[in-house]
Amino acid sequence: MVDLGSGASREIEDFMLTRYACYLIAQNGDSRKRPIAFAQSYFALQTRKQELIEDRMQLQARLEARDRLKVPKGVRLDLKSKVKSVTFRKF
Protein backbone atom coordinates (compact mmCIF):
# COMPACT_ATOMS: atom_id res chain seq x y z
CA MET A 1 0.00 0.00 0.00
CA VAL A 2 1.17 3.48 -0.88
CA ASP A 3 -0.26 6.60 0.70
CA LEU A 4 -1.39 9.18 -1.82
CA GLY A 5 -1.37 12.93 -1.38
CA SER A 6 -5.13 13.03 -0.87
CA GLY A 7 -4.84 10.83 2.20
CA ALA A 8 -6.05 7.73 0.41
CA SER A 9 -3.95 4.65 -0.13
CA ARG A 10 -3.56 2.41 -3.11
CA GLU A 11 -1.89 -0.93 -3.73
CA ILE A 12 0.88 -0.92 -6.32
CA GLU A 13 2.54 -3.77 -8.16
CA ASP A 14 6.14 -4.68 -7.31
CA PHE A 15 8.61 -5.67 -9.99
CA MET A 16 11.70 -7.83 -9.64
CA LEU A 17 14.43 -6.45 -11.93
CA THR A 18 17.62 -8.07 -13.12
CA ARG A 19 20.93 -6.44 -12.36
CA TYR A 20 21.26 -5.42 -15.99
CA ALA A 21 17.80 -3.81 -15.98
CA CYS A 22 18.78 -1.81 -12.88
CA TYR A 23 21.98 -0.75 -14.64
CA LEU A 24 20.07 0.46 -17.70
CA ILE A 25 17.58 2.39 -15.56
CA ALA A 26 20.41 4.00 -13.61
CA GLN A 27 22.36 4.96 -16.73
CA ASN A 28 19.32 6.49 -18.41
CA GLY A 29 17.88 8.14 -15.32
CA ASP A 30 18.12 11.74 -14.12
CA SER A 31 21.39 11.99 -12.17
CA ARG A 32 20.01 14.95 -10.19
CA LYS A 33 17.85 12.49 -8.27
CA ARG A 34 19.73 11.01 -5.33
CA PRO A 35 18.77 7.33 -5.86
CA ILE A 36 19.78 7.51 -9.53
CA ALA A 37 23.08 9.25 -8.70
CA PHE A 38 23.77 6.61 -6.07
CA ALA A 39 23.02 3.79 -8.52
CA GLN A 40 25.26 5.34 -11.19
CA SER A 41 28.09 5.64 -8.67
CA TYR A 42 27.51 2.06 -7.50
CA PHE A 43 27.68 0.62 -11.01
CA ALA A 44 30.77 2.70 -11.86
CA LEU A 45 32.55 1.34 -8.78
CA GLN A 46 31.49 -2.23 -9.48
CA THR A 47 32.65 -1.95 -13.09
CA ARG A 48 36.08 -0.68 -12.01
CA LYS A 49 36.33 -3.40 -9.37
CA GLN A 50 35.62 -6.06 -12.00
CA GLU A 51 38.22 -4.54 -14.34
CA LEU A 52 40.84 -4.73 -11.59
CA ILE A 53 39.93 -8.35 -10.83
CA GLU A 54 40.23 -9.29 -14.51
CA ASP A 55 43.59 -7.50 -14.80
CA ARG A 56 44.84 -9.38 -11.75
CA MET A 57 43.67 -12.71 -13.17
CA GLN A 58 45.47 -12.03 -16.47
CA LEU A 59 48.65 -11.08 -14.61
CA GLN A 60 48.44 -14.25 -12.52
CA ALA A 61 47.97 -16.40 -15.63
CA ARG A 62 50.94 -14.72 -17.30
CA LEU A 63 53.16 -15.28 -14.27
CA GLU A 64 52.12 -18.94 -14.05
CA ALA A 65 52.91 -19.44 -17.75
CA ARG A 66 56.28 -17.78 -17.27
CA ASP A 67 57.05 -20.05 -14.32
CA ARG A 68 56.20 -23.13 -16.38
CA LEU A 69 58.67 -22.03 -19.07
CA LYS A 70 61.47 -21.28 -16.65
CA VAL A 71 64.59 -23.48 -16.96
CA PRO A 72 65.57 -25.03 -13.63
CA LYS A 73 68.97 -24.07 -12.17
CA GLY A 74 71.76 -26.40 -13.12
CA VAL A 75 70.12 -27.43 -16.39
CA ARG A 76 72.13 -26.27 -19.37
CA LEU A 77 70.42 -25.94 -22.70
CA ASP A 78 72.68 -27.22 -25.43
CA LEU A 79 70.77 -25.88 -28.38
CA LYS A 80 73.79 -25.59 -30.67
CA SER A 81 74.01 -29.36 -31.15
CA LYS A 82 70.27 -29.62 -31.86
CA VAL A 83 70.04 -26.82 -34.43
CA LYS A 84 70.86 -27.54 -38.02
CA SER A 85 73.26 -25.07 -39.61
CA VAL A 86 71.70 -23.10 -42.46
CA THR A 87 73.45 -20.80 -44.89
CA PHE A 88 71.68 -18.20 -46.94
CA ARG A 89 74.18 -17.49 -49.70
CA LYS A 90 71.67 -17.91 -52.52
CA PHE A 91 69.63 -14.87 -51.53
Q: pLDDT digits over 11-69, tens only?
A: 888 999 999 999 999 999 999 999 999 999 999 999 999 999 999 999 999 999 998 88
Residue 91 is predicted with a pLDDT of 57
Cβ(26)–Cβ(43) under 8 Å? yes
CA-CA distances (angstroms) from residue 4 to 10, 11, 34? 7, 10, 21
Longest pairwise C-alpha distance within the chain: 99
Give residue limits of the domains in the chain. 18-68
Q: What is the pTM of this model?
A: 0.58
Residue 90 is predicted with a pLDDT of 64
Cβ(4)–Cβ(10) under 8 Å? yes
Q: Which element (helix H / strand E) includes 2?
A: strand 2-3
Nearest Cα residue to 42 out of 17, 23, 16: 23
